[in-house]
Structure formats: structure tokens, C-alpha cells
Chains A and B, each alone.
Chain A
Amino acid sequence: MSDSLSPVWLSAATSLTATLITCICGTALAGWRLRRSGVVFAVLDGFFILPLVLPPTVVGFLLLLLFGRHGPLGRVLWTMGVSAVFSWPATVIAATVASFPLMYITARASLEQVDSDYLDAARTLGASEWRVFRRVALPLAAPGLIAGTVLSFARAFGEFGATLMLAGDIPGKTETLPLAIYFAVEAGEKVRAAEWCVIDVMLSLLLLFVLYAWTHKQFPVRASARRG
């Protein structure tokens, strides 16, 4: 392997950062959305899920409009000294947006199926809504939340289209594994592409393992908790 291993580190850092953000925001939004209904929320749901439906190029283009130097969000970030396009943060933004719907949908479904008697019991015992969420809803929804996190990671790790549009392909800066493979093939360097592919598979497995360990620590599911 003649090249530096930078795509490996970039891919790992980008996908794990994106998964962390997605996991927290997706769960928080799903929790906030619980017990709220109405047209406004249905429309909002549509927006949250949109990145899953749209082609990655469309998502990438919309992100470019939003986060570009003259875009509404890009300008705000620029004043804070962050360049949100053609930079490492751009890879994180693209991966986060692409993986968010998977987390949001799974988190909502798993929080909704928690038996409301548990939540009500906690409330009558004096628990605040935050404590009910943190101590009761989250642990009981844990299997679903873990599944959502794993799905999100898978999506973030494989993210290609939106990343290319928003972050470009800058070796050592924004070139993640999927981009590196694409451009290796394009340049006719088949051997290098194959090497990246093997590394991609091994890294996926390794990171999935790390993720499982981490999420199970965050949301311990006791083996016999579901009995009775």
C-alpha cells in the first residue's frame, strides 16, 4: 500500500462522528415528537425523512445551497470560523443528514411501542417528564435504538453522493473510503481499488463491533428483562 492510510481514518472519524450526532439528535427529536400530533408535525416528519427518499445527489445539492458560503447556514458557520463546504466538517454534515432518517424512524417506532403504563407509573411516583424519558422510555426502547444506531452507522459509513457534492474529493481532507475507491477505479488503478475494498470490509466489521459494544453500554438490556 503505497498511499497513506488517510481514507481509512477519515472514513472512521466521519462515520462515527455522524453516527454520534444522529443517534443523539434522532432520539431527542423522536422523544420530543412523541405524544404530539397534528399537520405541522406530520409535515415536519416529512422533512426529517426526506434525505432517505431523495437521490444522494439532490441531497448533496440542497446541502450545498444551505451550507455554501452564501447559504443561510453556511454564512452562520463561516462567522464562527467553520467552512462547511469542501472541508472535513462537510463530510460529517453529509453523512449525518443521510443517516438521520434511519435513526429517527427507528427511534420513534421503538419509543412509541413502550407500554404507556410504565411511563404513567413513573409519573405517579413523582418523576419529571425528563426522568420518565431518561429512566423509563429510553431503557425500554433500547433494542430499537441500538438497531437504529447500527443502521445509521451503516448508512453514514457508505455515504458517497452527498459527500462528493458537498465536500468534494480532497485526498487527506475529505476523501473517505467510498470516494477513494471510486476515484481509484476511475483512474484505472484496479489493484488499489481492490485493496481499499478489502480494508473497507474489515473496517466496517470492526466499527460495527465497537458500535455494538458502545450502544450496549449506553442502554444496557438485561437478559431477562423481557420475561414475565
Chain B
Amino acid sequence: MGLEVDIEKQLESYALRVSFRANDEPLSILGASGAGKSMTLRCVAGLERPDRGRIALNERVLFDSERKIDLPARERRVGIVFQKYALLPNLTVEENIGFGLDHLPRAEREAKVQMYVGDAHLQGLEKRLPGQISGGEQQRVALARALAVDPEALLLDEPLSALDTYLRQQVERQLAQTLAARRGTTLFVTHNIDEAYRVGSEMLVLSRGEVVAFGRKRQIFDHPPTMGVAQLTGCKNLSEARAISPGVVEAIDWNCKLNVARGSEQGKHVGIRAHHITFQEDGAGSAEVNSFPCWVVSTSETPFRVTVYLRLNSSPGAGDGPHLQAELYREKYDRLKSRPMPWRVVLPQEKLFTVPD
């Protein structure tokens, strides 16, 4: 059951080769722009034809190049929410939501439209045109319209990217609730790491048309399989690594030696996420593993969080850049900043990961 995709398609600058399965839990598809995310969705929806492969939804074959099956979009039962929503500008909110329900008797259609209007909190806006409602409302209309035809798979193509930051969080929460309550396959395409993490249970990472990671999101964030996935999932600190002894590597770009999980010392790069880096406040010396003296090169502040750029093991001379960046809460930073340099930074062993490439 669920959605099975295994397709190939030659695009202008690279070949899209995607293979994955999605069940009833939302699957986030993460990738930089131009990685093939939208094209994958369009192939599933039947708006683009893959060169080769097979797509099946709940055992129903939607596309099979060998058996020459290619169901038209209207027969696939795949709903899609476009990045810019594609609400029909000449139809009202309720006409848009009811667009896919014209085969129903009038009374039944109107009842169903009213139900989705209610679910999407659009009461009072039924007679408005898309151009007369806000971006967040438009997004809800687009979602309601796609859900109204009761699709077996729901595809969302960057549905939050057209909203401003404030609205985005609010709409994302509503969206996540709607998706969690829904039965059926959901694919959520985004280039935003936080969104991908919050909305999906499983995650697929695409890079230039290839699947570079696919699995439980926690697993992918804690142990990225490749350097590319580490970067795509927002890891800011990556250093070339050289194995020294079992469980110990030299982080060449960071000017230090690190204890890592045994067996992982053969990786070519070592990485740690900025918010996993901690600081010793008690001045207990070098008692902790992977603890080093560090100097702050520069800082970048937001109201609640501070990013500090650090050099390890030596005080920075003129023109020296930072080795690492660490992210910490402002309260913690305020306690630290009065202390004399060097501070002591800790790269917790269990948070360090290595990648083979």
C-alpha cells in the first residue's frame, strides 16, 4: 500500500533518477532549488511523463513504461497544491473548492464545499475572488480544493514559500495538523530544512536528480550518509578528517584531534551541528572529552540566539578566519561573554558524525 515511485527522466542538465516508497505518514522531500523535487511531483501527478519506470498508488498502476500504462492526470486521484496555489482567478473561493466536484448533485456538492470551507476556516470568504483574500487564506483554499476531491495522494510543492515569515509559522502549524489528521500518502516538497523536519516523519533528500538520503528524519539528521546530505540538512561545521587511531581522528580544518565513535574514524570528513557545540562554564580544565581552548573571532546575534565563530587551540592573528561556528541561547552567551579568553569549547563525542566522502 502507499505510493511507489521508481522513475527516470532526462532533464536539460541532468538525469532525474528517483526511487522511493511513501506510506500513510507525510514524507518530506528536501533539496536545493533545481534538484528535481517539483519534477518528481509532476511525474507522480501525471503532468510530466517519465522516460522510464513505474509509479503505483495503493496497488493501482499510474505509470508503467514497460506495460505502456500512463493514466492521465484526471484519473490518478492525486491532488496537488502548487507553489503559487494556481487558484483560478476568475472563480470565487467556493467555486474553486468545488471545481473538482461538478460530477456531484448540486445539493451534495454545496454541502461538501461548505464542509471544506469550515475545515479551512474560510467562512465569510466564500464569494470572494482569490485576488481579494490574503496569501495565507489563498493557501488554505488551495489545500481545501485539493482535499475536496478526496485524493489518495496529496502533493504539496513548497506550499509555504509564498508567505511571509510571520504568517508562515502559523500556516505551517495548521498545515501540519491537517496533514497529521489525514489518511493517505502526503509528499511535502521544500527547500527549507526546518519545515521539512517539522512536517514530515520520513525524509527524502534530492541532489541533482539523485536520491542522496531516504529514511526516518531523525536518522538522517543525526547520521547524514554523505557530505552533501550534511550540508543540505543545515550542518555548518564540516572538516576534512584523518584517522589517527581507532576512535580518534584529526580534524584538519579545525586544528584539533577528536574522539569519535569507534569504527567511524575512517570517514573523510567529520561534522557537528552548530547548536550541538557546548561550552564549559566551571573552568574545570580539560577534564571533558573533546574539550579545547577557543577564541571568539566574531559573533552574529538575533534576539534570542547568538552564533559565535571560534578558533581552536590558538589565539587568532590578524586575518585568521574561524574554525567552527556554535549557536547558543542568549542567556548562555550573556553569562559567557564577560569571561576572559580562551573559553573552553566541547564537541560532544555522541554528536560528532563522520561521512565517507
**Contact among A124, A135, A221, A226 with B76 in the assembled complex (CB-CB below 8 Å):** A124
Complex contacts, A227 vs chain B, CB 8 Å: 89, 129, 131-132
**Contact among B46, B86, B102, B145 with A118 in the assembled complex (CB-CB below 8 Å):** B86
CB within 8 Å for A123 and B86 given contacts A227-B131, A228-B130: no
Interface size class of B (residues with CB under 8 A): 20 to 34
Those 5 A-B pairs whose CB atoms lie nearest each other, nearest first: A125-B100, A227-B131, A228-B131, A117-B86, A123-B73
Asked if A222 contacts B90 (CB within 8 A), the reply is yes
Asked if B129 contacts A225 (CB within 8 A), the reply is yes
Complex contacts, A124 vs chain B, CB 8 Å: 45-47, 73-74, 76, 78-80, 146, 151
CB within 8 Å for A123 and B72 given contacts A222-B90, A224-B129, A228-B131: yes
Residue B82 lies at the interface, judged by CB distance under 8 Å to chain A = yes
Asked if A225 contacts B90 (CB within 8 A), the reply is yes
Q: Using a CB-CB cutoff of 8 Å, which residues 57-109 of chain B contact chain A?
A: 72-76, 78-80, 82, 84, 86-90, 99-100, 102-103
Residue A136 lies at the interface, judged by CB distance under 8 Å to chain B = yes
Complex contacts, A125 vs chain B, CB 8 Å: 74, 79, 99-100, 145-146, 149
A residues contacting the other copy or chain, number (CB 8 A): 25
Residue B138 lies at the interface, judged by CB distance under 8 Å to chain A = yes
Complex contacts, B90 vs chain A, CB 8 Å: 139-140, 220-222, 225
Q: Using a CB-CB cutoff of 8 Å, which residues 27-79 of chain B contact chain A?
A: 42, 45-47, 72-76, 78-79
Q: What CA separation (Å) do A122 and B78 show in the bound complex?
A: 12
Residue of B nearest to A117 (CB): B86
The smallest beta-carbon distance between A34 and chain B, in angstroms, is: 15
Can you pick out 13 interface pairs between chain A and chain B where the beta carbons lie within 8 Å of each other? A121-B80, A121-B86, A122-B99, A124-B45, A124-B74, A124-B146, A125-B100, A125-B149, A136-B88, A139-B88, A224-B132, A227-B129, A228-B89
Asked if A121 contacts B131 (CB within 8 A), the reply is no
The smallest beta-carbon distance between B328 and chain A, in angstroms, is: 41
Q: What CA separation (Å) do A226 and B42 show in the bound complex?
A: 26
The smallest beta-carbon distance between A90 and chain B, in angstroms, is: 40
Complex contacts, A118 vs chain B, CB 8 Å: 86, 88
Q: What CA separation (Å) do A106 and B83 show in the bound complex?
A: 29
Residue A127 lies at the interface, judged by CB distance under 8 Å to chain B = yes
Residue A115 lies at the interface, judged by CB distance under 8 Å to chain B = yes
Q: Using a CB-CB cutoff of 8 Å, which residues 118-136 of chain A contact chain B?
A: 118, 120-128, 131, 135-136
The smallest beta-carbon distance between B180 and chain A, in angstroms, is: 23
Q: What CA separation (Å) do A220 and B91 show in the bound complex?
A: 11
Complex contacts, B89 vs chain A, CB 8 Å: 140, 225-228
Q: Using a CB-CB cutoff of 8 Å, which residues 94-152 of chain A contact chain B?
A: 115, 117-118, 120-128, 131, 135-136, 139-140
The smallest beta-carbon distance between B189 and chain A, in angstroms, is: 15
Complex contacts, B80 vs chain A, CB 8 Å: 120-121, 124
Complex contacts, B84 vs chain A, CB 8 Å: 117
Asked if B131 contacts A126 (CB within 8 A), the reply is no
Q: What CA separation (Å) do A220 and B84 show in the bound complex?
A: 24
Complex contacts, B75 vs chain A, CB 8 Å: 126
Asked if B74 contacts A226 (CB within 8 A), the reply is no
Complex contacts, B100 vs chain A, CB 8 Å: 125-127
Q: What CA separation (Å) do A131 and B74 show in the bound complex?
A: 11
Q: What CA separation (Å) do A98 and B151 show in the bound complex?
A: 49
